[in-house]
Amino acid sequence: MEIKKEKAKILKKIKETKSLKELDEVFKEAQNEIKNFTQKLKKLSLKQRKKFGKEINELKEKLEKEYRAKKQVLQEKTKEKKEFFDVTAPGKKIELGSFHPITLVKNRAEEIFQSLGFEIILGPEIEDEWHNFDALNIPPDHPARDVLSLGKTFYLEEKKLMRSHTSSVQIRYMEKNNPPLKIVAPGKVFRKDAIDATHEIEFWQLEGLMVDKKISVANFKAIMEEFLKRFFEKEMKIRLRPSYFPFTEPSFEVDISCVICGGKGCQTCKESGWIEAGGAGMVHPQVFRNCKIDPKEWQGFAFGMGLTRLTMLKYKIPDIRYFHSGDLRFLKQF
């Protein structure tokens, strides 16, 4: 009996079938063939029966296995042809969490300054008059306590107050650390004001301080330009204008080229091409003396930037009141 030959023939046929119908026909044919073999078996000797019987069984098993495998393949093929599958239907909705935009901007600012070698530090939100005013060269009868909107400070009992700027963190740090110093301090500040689209009673600032033997205005400009370039991911121009803060001398207003119009003039920059980004200056020698640092030996710059303002510029948020709104329609966009 030529079982082996038959086996090869059957397997080849199965392999070549192209439809389920054809496959079934081949399968039936093969089963009949096997039946034939079995009937022939009866006429053989016991020894031969044993030998061929085994081969027939093997063929049977092999046939069924191949048949099933091929059937599956063919079934899937037909399925693919018939099934309608709409990939344009929406995916399963996944509720992602999100950070507050201030957190995003704060994190980014911290990363940039850290990569420039600045240490990130924090300070308390409840302050005393020394750290918020006196040490910063703003004595009680100083007109600046009024003029610099610092007259808008919230007072608490025990002569404590809510810090009206993050400059207080500078003082706390300089009191405890010797130069050289390179720090930034992000934080919330509080000022009494009427809340509207551009005014808040609570907003975020980023304070920076760099002190060494020969830190200059030119150095401040370079650091600031580098920060802004990385933050806005494009070349940014900055412009210093003379200003006055009791805790810096010389003092400047820091303007940045308008991020909306690129300096051509638009509504945001009031057609000037420039946007006020914060105040800066060289640390006033009296501030150094107040922190027991010798101004003859050390010099450096300090700056305060509006983090809330940067966030508004970065994401083009038109109204400052969104930040405290707790409105998920706003918050989930970030």
Q: Under rule CB under 8 A, which residues in 87-106 are in contact with another protein?
A: 95-100, 102-103
Amino acid in position 250: P
Q: Which stretch binds another protein (CB under 8 A): 34-42, 43-51, 56-64, 191-199?
A: 191-199
Q: What angle separates helix 101-115 from helix 307-315, to the nearest 10 degrees?
A: 110
Distance in angstroms (rounded) separating the CA atoms of residues 205 and 199: 14
Binding another protein (rule: CB under 8 A), the pick from 16, 25, 196, 327 is 327
Contacts of 82 (CB under 8 A, 6+ apart): none
Q: Are 323 and 240 in contact (CB under 8 A)?
A: no
Q: Per CB under 8 A, does 240 bind another protein?
A: yes
Nearer to another protein among residue 134 and residue 193 (C-beta): 193
Residues 200-239 that bind another protein (CB under 8 A): 201-202, 210, 212, 214-219, 221-226, 239
Q: Per CB under 8 A, does 197 bind another protein?
A: no
Q: Which stretch binds another protein (CB under 8 A): 15-23, 67-75, 83-91, 179-187?
A: 179-187
Q: Which stretch binds another protein (CB under 8 A): 17-25, 38-46, 64-72, 120-128?
A: 120-128
Which structure tokens are listed for 70?
């091929």
Q: Which stretch binds another protein (CB under 8 A): 20-28, 57-65, 68-76, 146-154?
A: 146-154
Binding another protein (rule: CB under 8 A), the pick from 62, 130, 154, 265 is 154
Number of residues engaging another protein in binding (CB under 8 A): 82
Nearer to another protein among residue 74 and residue 331 (C-beta): 331
Nearest one of 270, 214, 266, 277 to 243, comparing CA atoms: 277
Q: Which stretch binds another protein (CB under 8 A): 20-28, 34-42, 66-74, 242-250?
A: 242-250
DSSP letters for 115-176: HTTPEE----SEEEHHHHTGGGT--TT-THHHHTTGGGPPB-STTEEE-SSTHHHHHHHHHH
Q: How far is the CB of 171 from another protein (least distance, A)?
A: 16
Amino acid in position 323: F
Nearer to another protein among residue 131 and residue 182 (C-beta): 182
Evaluated on CA atoms 279, 282, 286, 288, the torsion sign reads positive
Q: Per CB under 8 A, does 249 bind another protein?
A: yes
Which structure tokens are listed for 17?
């079938």
Q: Are 204 and 184 in contact (CB under 8 A)?
A: no
Which structure tokens are listed for 200?
């808040």
Binding another protein (rule: CB under 8 A), the pick from 143, 196, 264, 294 is 143
Q: Per CB under 8 A, does 158 bind another protein?
A: yes
Tokens 């091929």 correspond to 70
Distance in angstroms (rounded) separating the CA atoms of residues 323 and 203: 9
Nearer to another protein among residue 53 and residue 265 (C-beta): 265
Nearer to another protein among residue 43 and residue 242 (C-beta): 242
Q: Per CB under 8 A, does 241 bind another protein?
A: yes
**Strand segments (E) across 246-285:** 248-257, 274-283
Q: How far is the CB of 92 from another protein (least distance, A)?
A: 14
* 272: region left, alpha or beta (phi > 0 left; psi from -120 to 50 alpha): alpha
Nearer to another protein among residue 44 and residue 331 (C-beta): 331
Nearer to another protein among residue 59 and residue 236 (C-beta): 236
Q: Which stretch binds another protein (CB under 8 A): 28-36, 50-58, 84-92, 149-157?
A: 149-157
Q: Are 236 and 262 in contact (CB under 8 A)?
A: no
